[in-house]
Structure 1
């Protein structure tokens, strides 16, 4: 699977990237997608793929051991800025089968790839300091 990932990616500044168009069939076939967005950035939207891990980029140092070293992994965030930084970090830590989703989930959604949305996780607010969930999740006793 690693060779398939590398053969479908392109290199820029010493790092490997993959477009949503090339990533989608690989994700359907079992490549792991790591969504690096914090909850408020996703607005309840997640890519609809079989093997999805949710690890906010702000928590990557504490969660690095959750990312499998022996499987192909695609990192993604909203537009590709944080996934590039996480890719650099993982490469420095010895990961060899990881690439970043070029254009992030903005390009993923724009290109029409599947998204699922949990409306109970949507956020609203005029600015970052006012963000809050639109609907409160019901806590079970």
Structure 2
């Protein structure tokens, strides 16, 4: 893919390209890879439904970034677009040029009605933070101990 892949998409602020969820979806259909930075439990319960997606928690990007292709466009996404911007900046400092930040993360993606994959068994449920557990555990599908 060439350097013009992101041409006419998004807006640039502080040298970082920011794209909307709809633009990101369109670009993923054209060959961009989406990198999801959210916590694994969030990734397991709800994912972007795009042709090509990678997962790496944002805390692990320094150990993972060398696995990302340098010749393919990569859209960085998280829950609401905060950590993704930081990771785009990190990747640009490492020489990546075909990177963009997804504005609003999966929150705005879902709000805009774009496709997601939901695994109900991995969805978190509970009345407060101390009671959170996956749906399958809340329904009593606990694995038996020997």
TM-score bracket for this pair, using the shorter chain length: 0.7 to 0.9
RMSD value, Cα:
2.0
**Partner residue in 1 for 2:117:** 116
**Partner residue in 1 for 2:20:** 19
Shift in alpha-carbon separation, 1:57–1:131, aligned structure 2, 3 A: farther
Moved over 4 A (4+): 136-139
> Which structure has the larger Rg?
2
**Partner residue in 1 for 2:51:** 50
Measured against aligned partners, the alpha-carbon deviations of 1:14-41 in whole angstroms (never above 9, x if no partner) come to 2111111212111112110001111233
**Partner residue in 1 for 2:37:** 36
Greater CA drift, 106-115 or 21-30: 21-30
Contact residue 136 and residue 142 of structure 2 kept, 8 A? no
Measured against aligned partners, the alpha-carbon deviations of 1:48-76 in whole angstroms (never above 9, x if no partner) come to 11001111112111111121111001000
Q: What stretches of structure 2 of length at least 5 have no aligned partner?
A: none
Alignment of 1:1-141 (within 5 A): 1=1, 2-42=3-43, 44-125=45-126, 126-127=128-129, 130-135=131-136
TM-score normalized by structure 2? 0.84
Greater CA drift, 92-101 or 20-29: 20-29
Hey, what's the Cα distance between the residues in 1 that align with 2:94 and 2:65? 9
Distance apart, 1:133 and its partner CA: 2.6
Aligned residues: 138
Greater CA drift, 10-19 or 70-79: 10-19
